[in-house]
Amino acid sequence: MQKLAACFCFKARVSEFRKKDHNDIQISEPPKMERSTFNDNKSHSEKPTGIMIKREEGTRANIIVNHDFSKGLDSWHANSCEASVVSGEPSCGQGLSAFCNGNYAVLTNRKECWQGLEQEITGKVVQGRSYTVCADVGVSGLLHGYVDVQATLKLENKDSATSYLFIARTSVTNYQLGKLEGTFTLENLPDRIVFYIEGPSPGIDLHIKSVVISCPTASDFDVKKSTGYVRDDEGNIILNPVFDDGLNNWSGRSCKIAKHDSMANGKIVPKTGKFFAASTERTQTWNGIQQEITGRVQRKLAYEVTALVRIFGNNLSSAEIRATLWVQAPDLREEYIGIANIQATDKDWVQLQGKFVLNSAISKAVVYLEGPPPGTDILLNSLVVKHARKALPHFPPRIENSALGVNIITNSAFIDGTNGWFPLGNCNLSVGTGSPLILPTMAKDSLGPHEPLSGNYVLTTNRTQNWMGPAQIVTDRITLYLTYQVSGWVRVSSIVGGAQTVNVAFGVDDQWVNGGQVEVVDDTWHEISGSFRIEKRPGKVMVYVQGPAPGVDLMVAGLQIFPVDRRKRFKYLREQTDKVRKRDVILKFTGSDSICPFGTFVKVRQTENTFPFGSCLSRSNIDNNFFVDFFVKHFNWAVFGNELKWYWTEPQKGKLNYKDSDDLLNFCNTHNIKARGHCIFWDVDETIQSWVKDLNKNDLTTAVQNRLTSLLSRYKGQFQHYDVNNEMLHGSFFQDRLGKDIRANMFKTAHKLDSSPILFVNDYHVEDRCDLKSSPEQYIHHILDLQEQGAPIGGIGIQGHIDNPIGPIICSAIDKLGVLGLPIWFTEVDVSSSNEYVRAEDLEVMLREMFAHPAVDGIMLWGFWELFMSRENAHLVNAEGEINEAGKRYIDLKQEWLSMANGHVDEEGHFEFRGFQGKYEVEILGHFGKVSREFYVAKGTSPIVIPIDL
């Protein structure tokens, strides 16, 4: 089986935002327990020390035959490798002390990672029942570090392709016994089921000591309270999770903790169980209750966290509570991983839920609660941390009779007066004439058959609130998961007092959804555009046009809301891509007519498209071999998620931290991956360190200069790009403190310190018409203003965090910005949908639009691994490495953008084809055998002649 890796865009904590001296934190040690191995063949009277096991009659029957290899390899089969059974005793002197007692299987001569040991379990699995897998495994022959061992099911059907179901994964090193634990459920039984253990790299021997697959009942494990150890059916790794054993295993993170059965004169009682704990005398936001979980959490496994929490005291009715994981690596490097957050109240218990994954090996792990202001108590009723259950599989949405390109708005031309419309609020509607007779530009290429516009418009008067305007109910005309394009003409009666905002809004039950907006700067007609999609069945959907100030009359004409035909757009984009990204190539064979005479057959295969496709990565990612394999295979550019930002490299004044960015840059250099520098400054107020905010004007000027000198001098010539001052359309911290000139001066100084990188502006929502601060027009004005001040801007960054992408709208934004003549990069692309098939469609829209546009010079994803992205439901690879439909779509597109050709050499010794830029291999096949050569097709549009010397 091919193993998949992915990129974690992980939100780590920096010391600026919390105290990093942990000497004052007391972490309770868990009770000392002897480790005991037990299995179903043991007598029920045998009890491992520290844990009392209660078995009910008929539970935990192991469906694996010869689970401990006491009968050699009976019932087991080596999958394309060699297997033997070894008695533990002779190996004790060879380092395998963990295998000294009993027998174990050894798998050798492994040439692929999927080769291992298997056993057929067809007929032993019951449909719909949950099975628990537990195996003791190890490896030998590993030079250093850790390697993964995995349990998998092979599911075979006569009439369909074989599929594979991941069960569990664990990381082990040489001569170490690892516990491989997981669960599986089969909703449909295939014709044949094979269980097998696989995973280590070729050449590494796999050791298996025992395997148990059982179906536990609800009371499979009982707990001896004196240990405080709870391991129920759900596999909770938290000890004493409901405080039945007092505060054993819990401690305060620089605060006190106390156990209660009630508080506030009986007004606060547990929601579940008999007790809860309170974190008191908190003097910092990061103070709270904690538990060490070292040794109970494994890397590369997804864990889900559930807690019942509330707040008390400090006269606060609500505050944010966060669940956080602090981990320390063997080299003492620390990471803070945000798990979940919720707005808690003093009125009732609320459930906090989240998930996390560890990339690398750790020496210590502590989970804790934090967040509310000092003086506010955090109350915890229960905490569960367990291996995350697998999400139910997604299916493509079933969409019938979608009428693509057909307007769902009734009487949009107002030929029938205001029929179908009603005034939202106490305003008046009437019909006038004199509106545009042509469709808005962004609709004409995607709208289906339609009537010409009538020139009529609806006029809204007597508006006393900005939300008042014409409205229409469209509930029965909306199809779930379909993406709708919004387009129309709007005008206002007055712009006295400044430009007016007009917005097409959707009221979906009790929620407001933005369908597009425009800033009206004069009294002419303006095009409004946007997009809209619903993924949950609504009770009511109302569309309305709103926005101008009270008293300003609003005019709307030709409003079109229609589901887009993405297939039709993709066909057009394929044609555009062929024109923009390919060029005619003539291979001119020279040097030996005997090897390549007229008629010789040649095969051309592109090995790499060198167009920049990249993704963000973080320091912890490069400790994950799955991530590294995937990243190197699918990306040729990188950008650091946090590690180059000022708050990371200098969290406290004068205390520089470049180790993480050094490590990432070394990774890129090792794998020939080019890197963007993100970012030198970030102009949004909440991203600025507190010590920087506290500086006076003179000291801030000095600090800005020091930052530029430190960063640009250290990495001179090593980054291809820099985002100089991130998101200047959305923030103005430095300009507000230091004056307008500071922005241009940042560019000038950066160029002076390092003239090699291209200096970029970078901002978001430029391409989707949903943010008045960052329309293409405003971005252009911003760039021209900086250039007039002498800023050496070399590139335009569009971040690409987008919802419900519409091709013509994105293309229109690129067209406008392309007039500036600067290279455009999409720098932080992500799309989001709860359904991975819809997410795949959204991603394809973005990638095809960008790749087909001649002004776009590069595409960077803002991560792709579940739990390590800034947006939910945006990942391409699930938490434990399984690629989803969106990830498959990305890989398919990358494959589509590789060229292949074959044919015969002509009389002039030429072979011609049309291909993408990048690296190629040509094979010349004849009576002499096969001769191979490599060549490179550079960027360009005119034909290129490439000599191939034989």
Please tell me whether the peptide bond between 679 and the residue prior to it is cis, using omega within 30 degrees of 0: yes
DSSP string for 411-429: TTT-TTTTTT-EEESS-EE
Residue burial 577-609, b: 16+ Cβ < 10 Å; e: rest: beebbbbebebebeeeeeebeeebebbbebeeb
| Least confident piece of the model among 84-88, 360-364, 516-520 | 84-88
Read off the tokens for 899.
């060229």
Q: pLDDT tens for residues 561-578?
A: 999 999 999 999 999 999
Which pLDDT value is given to residue 664? Answer: 97
DSSP string for 46-85: ---TT------TT-----STTTT-TTTTTT-EESSSEEEE
Amino acid letter for position 395 = F
Q: Which of 181, 370, 650, 828 is catalytic?
A: 828
339/385 Cα distance (integer angstroms): 11
27/239 Cα distance (integer angstroms): 13
Q: Which of 181, 198, 370, 727 is catalytic?
A: 727
- The CA-atom distances, in angstroms, between 708 and each of 585, 663, 684, 785, 815 are 44, 20, 18, 22, 33
The mean pLDDT value for 88-105 works out to 58
Read off the tokens for 61.
């029957």
Q: Which CATH superfamily groups domain 77-214?
A: Galactose-binding domain-like (2.60.120.260)
Q: How far apart are the first and last CA of the chain?
A: 39
Residues 6+ apart with CB under 8 A from 674: 612, 614, 636, 637, 638, 668, 720
- The CA-atom distances, in angstroms, between 393 and each of 2, 264, 389, 533, 838 are 20, 46, 12, 22, 14
The tally of CA atoms less than 13 A away on the side-chain side of residue 840 is 19
Which pLDDT value is given to residue 130? Answer: 85
**Above 90 in pLDDT, residue 88?**
no
Which pLDDT value is given to residue 232? Answer: 42
Residue burial 689-727, b: 16+ Cβ < 10 Å; e: rest: bebbeeeeeeebbebbeebbebbbeebeeebebbbbbbb
- Ramachandran assignment for 538, one of left (phi > 0), alpha (psi -120 to 50 degrees), beta (any other): beta
Question: Tokens 């590690």 sit at which residue?
Answer: 643
**Above 90 in pLDDT, residue 508?**
yes
484/563 Cα distance (integer angstroms): 4
| Helix or strand (DSSP H, E) at 628 | helix 625-634
The mean pLDDT value for 901-930 works out to 91
Domain 422-564 adopts which CATH fold?
Jelly Rolls (2.60.120)
* Helix (H/G/I), strand (E/B), else coil: 635: coil
Question: Tokens 């339609």 sit at which residue?
Answer: 450
**Above 90 in pLDDT, residue 825?**
yes
138/148 Cα distance (integer angstroms): 10
453/525 Cα distance (integer angstroms): 14
**Above 80 in pLDDT, residue 166?**
yes
Residues of the chain with CATH 2.60.120.260: 77-214, 228-387, 422-564
Read off the tokens for 175.
């001569």
The mean pLDDT value for 909-928 works out to 92
Q: pLDDT tens for residues 679-736?
A: 999 999 999 999 999 999 999 999 999 999 999 999 999 999 999 999 999 999 999 9
The mean pLDDT value for 192-198 works out to 94
pLDDT band for position 925 (cuts 50, 70, 90) = confident
Mark whether 828 is an active-site residue: yes
Residues of the chain with CATH 2.60.40.10: 582-608+898-949
Q: pLDDT tens for residues 575-613?
A: 999 999 999 999 999 876 667 788 889 999 999 999 999
Helical ranges in 797-944 per DSSP H: 807-818, 836-852, 885-896
Which pLDDT value is given to residue 543? Answer: 98
Which pLDDT value is given to residue 593? Answer: 65
**Above 50 in pLDDT, residue 208?**
yes
SS (H, E, C) 513-542: EEEEEEEECCCCCEEEEEEECCCCCCCCEE
Domain 228-387 adopts which CATH fold?
Jelly Rolls (2.60.120)
Pairing of strands 377-387, 334-345: unpaired
**Above 50 in pLDDT, residue 475?**
yes
Which pLDDT value is given to residue 930? Answer: 86
DSSP count for the chain of H helices, then E strands: 13, 46
Question: Tokens 């299995």 sit at which residue?
Answer: 39
Read off the tokens for 794.
């070399």
Q: Mean of the per-residue pLDDT values for the chain?
A: 87
Q: pLDDT tens for residues 448-471?
A: 777 789 999 999 999 999 999 999
319/23 Cα distance (integer angstroms): 28
Q: What percent of the chain has pLDDT over 90?
A: 70
Which pLDDT value is given to residue 99? Answer: 57
Q: pLDDT tens for residues 256-292?
A: 999 999 999 999 999 999 999 999 999 999 999 999 9
According to CATH, what is the number of the domain 617-885?
3.20.20.80
Q: Other C-beta atoms within 10 Å of 880: how many?
A: 23
The burial class, CB within 10 Å (0-12 / 13-18 / 19+), for 55 is middle
Residues of the chain with CATH 3.20.20.80: 617-885
User: If you average pLDDT over each of 89-98, 435-444, 887-896, 924-933, which comes out highest?
Assistant: 887-896
Q: pLDDT tens for residues 406-416?
A: 999 999 999 99
Q: Give the CA radius of gyration of the chain.
A: 32
Which pLDDT value is given to residue 449? Answer: 77
* Beta-bridge mates of residue 139: 174, 206
Please tell me the total number of residues recorded for the chain in this structure.
Answer: 950
Residues 6+ apart with CB under 8 A from 283: 254, 255, 374
Residues 6+ apart with CB under 8 A from 784: 820
**Above 60 in pLDDT, residue 225?**
no
Q: What angle do the packed helices 807-818 and 566-581 form, to 10 degrees?
A: 30
According to CATH, what is the number of the domain 582-608+898-949?
2.60.40.10
Which pLDDT value is given to residue 91? Answer: 43
291/275 Cα distance (integer angstroms): 17
Q: pLDDT tens for residues 22-74?
A: 223 232 332 222 222 223 322 323 322 222 223 333 335 899 999 999 889 99
